[in-house]
Amino acid sequence: MHNIPSEIVRVAYGDLCYMKHNLVQTLVSTLVGPLLYLLAFGYGMRAGDTEYIAYVIPGIVAISSMNSGFSSSSQKIVIQRLFHSSFDELILCPMHTSSVIFGKCLMGIIRGMVGGLIIMCLGMLLTPGLHITVWLLLAMLISSIMFSLLGVAAGLLANSTPTLMMFNSIIILPMSFMCGTLFDVSSLPSLVSDIVWALPLSHTTSIMRATADCLPVDYISVVVILAYVAVFYSICHIVIRKKLY
């Protein structure tokens, strides 16, 4: 068990080399989406409203950690499984299943953290109310881990690229808009608002907004996020151990 951190880095070595080769492309693709959100929602729709910009930036950070975490992990695994057959090499290595799972998450976690931090730094320049606190960093970390795990699970279960794209369209994209990232969900009909509450991005948005504004964190959100982490991890574990991919 004590080898797991070292094994995670060993598993991730290939992905980290890939990221090194494509550093500029990785950074650009991580930042373009969040910057467009900031431009369109922060400046296009509510021009000059600094209060709204302070509101929307933690939401954009949450979207960024979700998109980066999910897409990095899922796409790489789908390519390795279905096109390069190199995922078998991971399964053949004498390592714990947890190391394989978290090793495949590492690139998504790094991308999620870097993207989120850049957006937060930009936000701090634009509006004085935001702070990068240790709690915010922890919130970004746990959010990136959760969505990277979801990406690994989706990458393992998708039997084609269109299936993964469909998952992205029906789960990830609606969450980006509906989970309190860009507007207050209390204005939604109660049924929709209840559904939205159950989605993981609502809770990462909630804790990021609280930690960036130095407000008390809703601990129910922390519990819900940890429950999602456990569920996504368990799915990955079962799929790998039972070779259901």
Specify whether the CB–CB gap between 65 and 116 falls below 8 A.
yes
* Closer residue to another protein, CB minimum distance, 95 or 136: 95
Smallest gap from Cβ 243 to another protein, in A, equals 5
Tokens 């990095």 locate to 72
* Closer residue to another protein, CB minimum distance, 58 or 108: 108
* Closer residue to another protein, CB minimum distance, 79 or 217: 79
* Closer residue to another protein, CB minimum distance, 151 or 180: 151
DSSP reduced 3-state for 64: helix
Smallest gap from Cβ 114 to another protein, in A, equals 20
DSSP reduced 3-state for 95: coil
Orientation of helix 50-78 relative to helix 134-157, angle to 10°: 40
Residues in the site for another protein, rule: CB under 8 A?
A: 3, 7, 10-11, 13-14, 17-18, 21, 80, 84-86, 88-96, 242-243
Smallest gap from Cβ 160 to another protein, in A, equals 18
The alpha-helical segments, DSSP class H, found in the chain are 4-21, 23-37, 50-78, 87-92, 97-126, 134-157, 161-167, 173-178, 190-198, 200-212, 219-241
Specify whether the CB–CB gap between 134 and 161 falls below 8 A.
no
* Closer residue to another protein, CB minimum distance, 83 or 220: 83
Smallest gap from Cβ 85 to another protein, in A, equals 4
Q: Which residue from 170, 26, 146, 153 is spatially nearest to 77, judged by alpha carbons?
A: 153
Smallest gap from Cβ 174 to another protein, in A, equals 31
Smallest gap from Cβ 94 to another protein, in A, equals 4
Between vectors from CA 141 to CA 202 and to CA 245, what angle results, nearest 5°? 80
* Closer residue to another protein, CB minimum distance, 14 or 129: 14
